[in-house]
Structure 1
Amino acid sequence: MAEATVDNGVPPTEEEESAADSFFDLDQDSKAGDISRKLESLERENKDMKERITTLTIEVEGSEEEKKLFDSIASRAVELETEVARLQHDLITAMSEGEEATHEVAELKKAIAEKGEKLDSIEKEVDALKKEKAESEKKVRELERKVGLLEVKEIEEKSKRLRVEEEMREKIDEKDREIIVFKRRVDELVSELDKWKLEKKSVEETLILSEKKSKEMEFLILQLQREVEEAQKVITGLKEKILDGFNGTDRDVQLSVAAQDMGFNWQLPAVAVAAAAASAGVVYVCYARRR
């Protein structure tokens, strides 16, 4: 039974081991006790028979019946001796079997001890595996918690990204509208620039004409200045003659001067007109150069 338990790979418990030891010990003691009791009984009976044989040998030597009884007792003694020998052989066999059983029990105990050590090692491995399993489960729970947090964070990031994209889309739309407004403004500025270019071209053409007219006016002014200088000379001479007349010249001279004064009075408006025209020309040239 113990061998079957060990061979199955399941080490017996302490109760099973004790039961196996008790079983072999009881079986061995039972066989040896029975044989010993039978042997003692037969030895006592054999001793009694020998004593009776001795007594009968002394008392019964002449009687046939006593001789037959003696033969019967002797035959029984032989049978008893044979039985004793057989029982002794059985006792030796039982003792040998007991020794073998004891040896087998020792082997079984050794195997049980080895299985116990192996069981201890297995139990340690099981404990280590349980501990490792507990740590793995703890790590799995921790990883699940982290995964949950990452999923929540991912959802938040996705929501935030969507909000940012929506805001950026609104800003882009706003910038697109601003760009459209700017493009319109640029088109207006380009149109206005073209207009200013045309006006500039017209002004440049007008300026060229003005410069041409300015040069003509400068030439006229130079001529007028020369005429003014000549007129000033004439006026100076006339003034001198007038002064000479006031200083006591004769009447003829006065008449001549009067006549000349009459001529001077006719020339004076012409000189004034020429001076006014020259002044107007100078003013126009200065204004044209400033522009």
Structure 2
Amino acid sequence: MAETTVDNGVPPGEEEESAADSFFDLDQDSKAGDISQKLESLERENKEMKERITTLKIEVEGSEEDKKLFDSIAARAVELETEVARLQHDLITAMSEGEEATHEVTELKKAIAEKVEKLDSVEKEVDAVKKEKAESEKKVRELERKVGLLEVKEIEEKSKKLRVEEEMREKIDEKDREIIVLKRRVDELVSELDKCKFEKKSVEETLILSEKKSKEMEFLILQLQREVEEAQKVITGLKEKTLDGFNGTDRDVQLSVGAQDMRFNWQLPAVAVAAAAASAGVVYACYARRR
């Protein structure tokens, strides 16, 4: 990952591994180089001593001082050989330690490689977690947006519901007032109906009485008509028996009887019509109030 790299572009695991390699390689090379240099120097010095000994053996075989010098040089050569042997042993030891260090470096490299592999796996898991987190945050934002829209819609629905409830309450109050008015009207109509029933009953009783009186009048009229007919018959007979000298008197009598008959005939229908008109007026007034 970009944030786990250093300025030179080398991952931390590889940098650590490279540093370990450099450390062990430098240490090993430094020890081996020092020993090799000392060994080469001693070998050169030993070679020079041997050559000098050989030369001195040739030049000073008979001299006692030369012999002492030769012994001194020989002793120095032995010391140098001993030093060379020691240095060779140190070189072998250093090389053995270098091999052990190399083995340790190999093990460290292997451990570092495993750590780097685990680190890569962890980085991949971190990337996956970050990706999932980004997707989750995106989903959360989307859900928050939807929740906001739902809250706005819920507020609008509540406001609409309140308006509808207010309108319904107003309509219900108006209907209640109308019902009260209608109940009052119904009570008035019931009262008028009772009154009309009472008036109708009175009118019916009046009609019954009127019909009864009408029948009585009809009977009386028929009776009177029969009497008139009988009177007319009598008058006609009297006319036939009357003399010519009494014509004027006969005409006066006829006119008088005819006038009385006409007045009587007009009075009877007028009474019946007046009774019927009164009954019809009462019935009409009753039904007009009901409308």
* TM-score, normalising length: structure 1: 0.69
- Higher RCO, Cα 8 Å, sep 6+: 2
2:283 and 2:104 mapped to 1: Cα distance? 151
**Structure 1 residue 195 displacement after superposition:** 0.9
Q: Quick check: 1:224–1:274 contact (8 Å CA) kept in 2?
A: no
1:66 and 1:46 mapped to 2: Cα distance? 19
**Structure 1 residue 237 displacement after superposition:** 6.4
Give the equivalent residue in structure 2 for 1:16.
16
Give the equivalent residue in structure 2 for 1:127.
127
**Structure 1 residue 198 displacement after superposition:** 1.2
SS, match of residue 247 in structure 1: helix
Question: For residues 137 and 180 of structure 1, do their structure 2 counterparts lie closer, same or farther at Cα, with a shift above 3 Å needed?
Answer: same
Q: Quick check: 1:24–1:101 contact (8 Å CA) kept in 2?
A: yes
Bigger Cα displacement from structure 2, 179-188 vs 200-209: 200-209
Question: For residues 205 and 52 of structure 1, do their structure 2 counterparts lie closer, same or farther at Cα, with a shift above 3 Å needed?
Answer: same
Deviation per CA, 1:129-154: give whole Å up to 9, x if none. Answer: 22222222222222222232233323
SS, match of residue 13 in structure 1: helix
Q: Quick check: 2:6–2:12 contact (8 Å CA) kept in 1?
A: yes
Deviation per CA, 1:142-178: give whole Å up to 9, x if none. Answer: 2222232233323333333332233222222222222
Bigger Cα displacement from structure 2, 238-247 vs 78-87: 238-247
**Structure 1 residue 38 displacement after superposition:** 0.9
Give the equivalent residue in structure 2 for 1:171.
171
Aligned residues: 291
1:252 and 1:217 mapped to 2: Cα distance? 30
Question: For residues 105 and 240 of structure 1, do their structure 2 counterparts lie closer, same or farther at Cα, with a shift above 3 Å needed?
Answer: farther
2:179 and 2:282 mapped to 1: Cα distance? 53
**Structure 1 residue 194 displacement after superposition:** 1.4
1:3 and 1:270 mapped to 2: Cα distance? 130
Bigger Cα displacement from structure 2, 254-263 vs 162-171: 254-263
Deviation per CA, 1:195-253: give whole Å up to 9, x if none. Answer: 11211222232233334434544554554565566567667767887899999999999
1:177 and 1:274 mapped to 2: Cα distance? 47
**Structure 1 residue 32 displacement after superposition:** 1.0
Question: For residues 117 and 245 of structure 1, do their structure 2 counterparts lie closer, same or farther at Cα, with a shift above 3 Å needed?
Answer: farther
Deviation per CA, 1:82-125: give whole Å up to 9, x if none. Answer: 22222112212222222222222222223333322322222222
SS, match of residue 7 in structure 1: coil
Deviation per CA, 1:55-100: give whole Å up to 9, x if none. Answer: 3444444444434333333332232222222211221222222222
Give the equivalent residue in structure 2 for 1:3.
3
Bigger Cα displacement from structure 2, 5-14 vs 196-205: 5-14
Question: For residues 182 and 48 of structure 1, do their structure 2 counterparts lie closer, same or farther at Cα, with a shift above 3 Å needed?
Answer: same
1:186 and 1:46 mapped to 2: Cα distance? 150
SS, match of residue 258 in structure 2: helix
Q: Quick check: 2:4–2:11 contact (8 Å CA) kept in 1?
A: no
Q: Which runs of 5 or more residues in structure 1 are unaligned?
A: none
Deviation per CA, 1:43-62: give whole Å up to 9, x if none. Answer: 12222222333334444444
Asked if 1:253 corresponds to 2:253, the answer is yes
Q: Which runs of 5 or more residues in structure 2 are unaligned?
A: none
Question: For residues 102 and 6 of structure 1, do their structure 2 counterparts lie closer, same or farther at Cα, with a shift above 3 Å needed?
Answer: farther
CA RMSD of aligned residues (A): 8.4
SS, match of residue 50 in structure 2: helix
2:61 and 2:225 mapped to 1: Cα distance? 219
Bigger Cα displacement from structure 2, 272-281 vs 113-122: 272-281
**Structure 1 residue 39 displacement after superposition:** 1.0
1:275 and 1:4 mapped to 2: Cα distance? 126
Q: Quick check: 1:228–1:275 contact (8 Å CA) kept in 2?
A: no
Bigger Cα displacement from structure 2, 177-186 vs 55-64: 55-64
